[in-house]
Structure 1
Amino acid sequence: MRDGEEIVCRVQTDLGIETPYILCAPVFLRAAWGALIPKLHVPIHLDGVPHIIAMSQLVAILGAQIGSVIGDASVWRDEIVAAMDLLVSGF
């Protein structure tokens, strides 16, 4: 985020059109989070530090509030898509 205090994972694909809001999931330090919900909280590493993508807390954020890219979560794409399926479809 532009405030420099929060990290989000953009989960919305590039639609080829500009939209004011972008679907994101918050990213937290793993040490600051309790028990993980399997298949819903995606464990990742940013610069070697354990974090989680909290897919259970998806939010649409104004694109203007999103700061610069600090990492690439594409290696966890399958886990992120599976979490979206769980949220939307229940499986």
Structure 2
Amino acid sequence: MSQGNILRLRDGDELVCRVQTDLGLETPYTLCAPVVPHTAWGSPVPRLHIPILVNETPCYILMSQMVAIPTAQLGAPVADASAWRDEMIAAVDLLVSGF
């Protein structure tokens, strides 16, 4: 599992994007952001809701909704958002620092 992997949760159909970097060690929780179809979310917030295609479906990575999920609940990768790493880091900076 790598930063930017989009994963399906083992107990449902929900998707998450792994935000946490590879630390070289297993952790019981992994920092992730929900990935939802555009149709399931209202107006996106620029710089916090990152638009992405997942298997040809327009989605948002909801960086404003990040959560630590038990690592055991993360399934196999279904897509890759690593090309949006800079946008994810900028969203974390915005949330934490305000710029």
TM-score, normalization by structure 2: 0.88
Structure 2 equivalent of residue 31 of structure 1 = 39
Structure 1 stretches of 4+ with a deviation exceeding 2 A read none
Q: Which amino acid aligns with 1:3?
A: D
The share of aligned pairs that are identical, in percent, is 63
Q: Which amino acid aligns with 2:38?
A: R
1:65 aligns with 2:73: yes
Q: Which amino acid aligns with 1:9?
A: C
Which of 78, 81, 85 is the equivalent residue of 1:77? 85
CA RMSD, Structure 1 to Structure 2 (Å): 0.8
Which of 29, 32, 40 is the equivalent residue of 1:21? 29
Q: Extract unaligned runs of 5+ from structure 2.
A: 1-8
Aligned length: 91
Q: Which amino acid aligns with 2:28?
A: P
